[in-house]
Amino acid sequence: MALDRTFFSDNRKKFADLLPDNRAVFLFAGEAKKMSGDTDYRFLPDRNFYYMTGLERAGLVLVITKKDGAFTEKLYAPAHDKLKERWGGKRPDFEALTAVSGIEDIRSDEAFEEDAKAEAKDSSTKIAVDGGSIMDAPREFTDMISTLGVKPESISSLITDMRMVKSEDELSCIREAAKITEEALDELKKYVKPGVTEYELYTRLEFELARRGSMLNAFETIVSCGSNVFYLHHADPEMSGDGVAQEGGAIQIDVGARYKGYCADISRVFFVGSPADDDRRVLLLGIIKRLRQAAFAFIAPGRTFAQLNSQMYDICGKWLAAQGLIPDNFCVGDVQKYYWHNTSHYLGLDVHDVGPKDRAFAAGNCLAVEPGIYIPEWGIGFRIEDDVVVTSGGCELLSSGTDELEGIIAN
């Protein structure tokens, strides 16, 4: 299972079909980000650039032109430099870039500026960039050609529409990312016991993901014990205090592997020690399971995130009222005191993938589904999250969907 050059070539052809005529589109891999004076963070290319090329090197530029209905493509890349490779690591040669991307016309990046300016000066062609990119390169390019009196268009929405509907190859990658994630979680459970720290669990989980091939995960791994569960993105694991697992407590895990560029997003909760009959952890698990099943049953083409949240608020609100936490004649604001985050988001090349939040679901959309309730008065709160794809008749799990109590208790 892999995304081969045909996948990326087909994406470029589909994009060219959507592109208005007489356009030259410049897409940038982007640049490595500085971590310190002479050290960079591990590089992750702009996701739209990756979607079009499969390439993961900094400094690359893809140019797609459509003139009089004809589509051409070329890539600019750093040429081999033995001294730079000595200090910065291997650089793939042009043949290797072609093998991954399917792009035959590859040129030295030293020719890029002159070629780009010549394209910008051609009055018969409009220049376009990815205006939604988080990289600096598109803005620097825009500044450069603005000196020629040219203001580029943004084509972000065209690629967004393409990325929102996942192919079978993409779904296979997300399934594999989920499989890696859940295998790592299964290994992690062996280490859950009273006295274990968030830091120990965090490093074990990172190791289990890395040894399965996920060196750069979908997002910063979250391991939360005790009151730290009330910080939804608790990404700095602690070695003492609230960061130590206690008998009768719960540990929230939120983690996602990345496979071939595609993300999983999975949350699990572990109970430390067997629960008593009146254990509020089990009570909370019961309503979370109800919310999950209702969400999976509700998601279908034509439905929206707002409608999904409304369903969850109604179910959750009635339960909260039955616990005496909010009034019987509750409003959404009452429910949101305990139901803190949205139920779902898009998933794909980004963990919070591209797509308008108000657009109705369509077959091929991938979603992470994560109902969660947090009750400070009880000292407990958690979410359980799985990944799905919208189908013609509803939705289908891409991860296991496990939420049974026997899999949650860690003795």
Distance CA 15, CA 298 (A): 32
183 in the same domain as 138:
no
pLDDT at 411 over 80: no
152 in the same domain as 12:
yes
180 in the same domain as 151:
no
**Mean pLDDT (whole number) for 9-29:** 97
Interval 149-166: pLDDT, tens:
999 999 999 999 999 999
**Average predicted confidence (pLDDT) for the chain:** 96
Tally the domains of the chain: 2
- 277 confidence band (pLDDT: 50, 70, 90): confident
Interval 296-337: pLDDT, tens:
999 999 999 999 999 999 999 999 999 999 999 999 999 999
249 in the same domain as 221:
yes
Starting at the edge strand found earlier in the chain, the sheet holding 61-67 runs 106-108, 70-77, 61-67, 23-28, 126-129, 153-154
More confident residue, 1 or 406: 406
333 in the same domain as 231:
yes
CATH, residue 228: 3.90.230.10
150 in the same domain as 192:
no
* Stretch (H or E) spanning 340: none
pLDDT at 278 over 90: no
Structure confidence at residue 349 (pLDDT)? 98
- 216 confidence band (pLDDT: 50, 70, 90): very high
Structure confidence at residue 2 (pLDDT)? 65
**Mean pLDDT (whole number) for 20-33:** 96
Tracing tokens 């439905």 back to the chain, one arrives at 303
For residue 246, give the amino acid letter: Q
Structure confidence at residue 375 (pLDDT)? 98
354 in the same domain as 303:
yes
Q: Is 386 in contact with 400 (CB distance < 8 Å)?
A: yes
CB atoms < 10 A from the CB of 157, how many? Answer: 13
**Mean pLDDT (whole number) for 25-48:** 94
* Last-in-domain residue among 141, 163, 185: 163
193 in the same domain as 159:
no
- 14 confidence band (pLDDT: 50, 70, 90): very high
* Last-in-domain residue among 97, 132, 163: 163
pLDDT at 247 over 90: yes
Domain that holds residue 90: 5-163
272 in the same domain as 362:
yes
CATH, residue 17: 3.40.350.10
**Sequence-separated contacts (24+) of 89-98 with Cβ below 8 Å:** 91/57, 92/57, 97/55, 97/57, 97/60
185 in the same domain as 76:
no
- 1 confidence band (pLDDT: 50, 70, 90): very low
